[in-house]
Structure 1
């Protein structure tokens, strides 16, 4: 077997360092270190603690060495859109403000009114979300113009973590596309658009593709950690990494299910037509310049918040069981901005039901059932929109990520859409990260070979449409 490679996968609620290797026939992936993550209030804004995250990454590297894995490379992926700015001496000028922060309120609407929605979509193909990096940068310009004037480098969160490891500043392509500042057709920073928005073009670095080896970790880190390893950029946007691990990409829709639910297809070209814009679909960059034509749906964030707020201790499995025992209750529009970061998720759900004259969920089971039914309704709507846009029907839905383990939700989706749901692998993002490191070094010859390796290495669950309320799954 080849040496181990470390895939660092950091999401909005947790992070993990995974050690992986392959013998060419199967992939072996082991969790080395897991840690919590959350945005906390700092100087009036919700921010990610990137220094804490970097220390956890270093701890994961140390632990992998102590476990005898002798890692040879590392790559980091995180969520999209968030960033830091550095000054001329490479000191951090800004915190990594969370996309859930309210500083962007009203900014997107101002841009649409002045620039034009169609004009922006035709250039970038990116859906209009109030937290897009474009609006975050414009909010910074509005609130702290002197800070923006001092800035010399723009680094998204995984770019910054790679910089801390190597001292090298890069912008990775798949994550950069989520900024709404990359041209969907040239696949480069749209300098005319950036300048037209009154933002400094000089901030942005040349885009690097997934699989780029940017060199070894810094000498001082080699001494501190006791290992020399190369940093190989994966698809640093977690969804882009996850899609790498979808083995049946040509025959199925996918849902990358976690805090957010990203539902879509992999496409060889961007779809920047009016219907796609009106349905708020995005064209995010993928591996080998493929596009992830997808819709961003609120996802399991709502159930995470409900679990956190319930007075008793409930696991996600407990909530799924309780919801299964509960009759269908009210539904809410999970894509409403009110659920992005409410003061109290349970009260917000109840208020939404009350406002629409529906029964108000009160028990844990009722709240979970409301969320699950509402998510499935949103999934079904998005699936129909995709099929109408590309004029094709898909028979399967492949769910990857942590949410793929929710059998209750998977069966409900199969029943509602009358499609077969294939669930797994749950660690798709880390797997995709690892695959790109292996492809970069020639251990795996191609993306197709990597996907075949995933299919050989991980069991998935299959959920068939059925009328019964009793969920079942078959291993395949």
Structure 2
């Protein structure tokens, strides 16, 4: 950047979120927090048990209010970025959110671990995706959701930062570094179509339309 300009970032963490205003240029790097808000999971009865979910719509509303504060402080903002915790996602059909995104600590992932490891053990998965085994990695969540029939009517899955970006811009893409946490990317950063097929995940529900590098 040859001259000083302003950018904004939505930073969503597991317990709180914030909107940062950055001023970047030659010999200049300034960060100002313009908004901060809580990120609190909720338990909702789903007919058989109380499942743990994120308040995704509330987070989006708070992020928009924070971005409005950033624009008031710096009307000439050049770009906006969205960063969030990994592995969790929203399911969409024809662009509309289907249900409230599950929290990565929701107990359903345990069933997903058992189902996935019957097909591919942790050593094989590590060789393909380079990920540490964590029981809430997205491929386990996807598999549990598939068993519950939640993927049948969905045509797109967007990880949380990509979901927020979609609501802001109307574009459905997967940011590559965040998508790597799903366990469904190969070591070269492309979708692992062979593994997706082995797990029986519908292509449209296990990935968004394209991957973009950061």
TM-score (norm 2): 0.91
Match for residue 37 of structure 2 among 35, 38, 42 = 35
Match of 2:122 in 1: 117
How much does 1:23 deviate? Answer: 2.7
Q: 1:92 aligns with which of 90, 94, 97?
A: 97
Change (3 A) 1:126 1:102: same
The match for 1:70 is 76
Normalized per residue, the structure richer in strand is: 2
Look up the SS of the partner of 1:4 in the other structure. Answer: strand
Q: 1:169 aligns with which of 146, 167, 172?
A: 172
Partner of 1:163, secondary structure, is: helix
1:234-313 alignment, distance < 5 Å: none
CA shift at 1:109, angstroms? 3.3
1:175-222: CA deviation from partner (whole Å, max 9, x where unpaired): 1111110001x3100001001100011332221011xxxxxxxxxxxx
User: Displaced runs of 4+ in structure 1, greater than 4 A?
Assistant: none
Which of the residues 34, 52, 55 maps onto 2:58?
Answer: 52
Equivalent residues in 2 for 1:390-405 (5 A)? none
Mapped contact 2:5–2:25 kept (Cα < 8 A): no
Q: Name the CA distance, whole Å, in 1 between partners of 2:71 and 2:211.
A: 32
Q: State the alpha-carbon separation in 2 of the partners of residues 181 and 73 from structure 1.
A: 29
- Give 1:54 deviation, angstroms: 1.1
2:52–2:106: 8 Å Cα contact kept in structure 1? yes
What are structure 1's unaligned runs of at least 5 residues? 211-476
**Which whole-Å deviations, capped at 9, do the CAs of 1:80-107 have from their partners, x for residues lacking one?**
00001101x2111131111011111243
**CA deviation vs aligned residue, 1:282-331 (integer Å, no higher than 9, x gap):** xxxxxxxxxxxxxxxxxxxxxxxxxxxxxxxxxxxxxxxxxxxxxxxxxx
Give the CA RMSD over aligned residues: 1.4
Q: Is the CA contact 1:3–1:69 (under 8 Å) kept in the aligned structure 2?
A: no
- Give the superposition deviation at 1:66: 2.5
Query: How many Å separate the matches in 1 of 2:97 and 2:5?
Result: 34
SS of residue paired to 2:158: strand
TM-score by length of 1: 0.42
Please give the secondary structure, in 2, of the residue aligned with 1:96: coil
With CA pairs under 8 Å and 6+ residues apart, which has the higher RCO, 1 or 2? 2
Structure (1 or 2) with the larger CA radius of gyration: 1
Task: Report the Cα offset of residue 16 of structure 1.
Answer: 0.7
1:132 to 2:137 alignment:
yes
Gaps of 5+ in 2: none
Determine which structure has the larger helix proportion and give its number: 1
Aligned length: 206
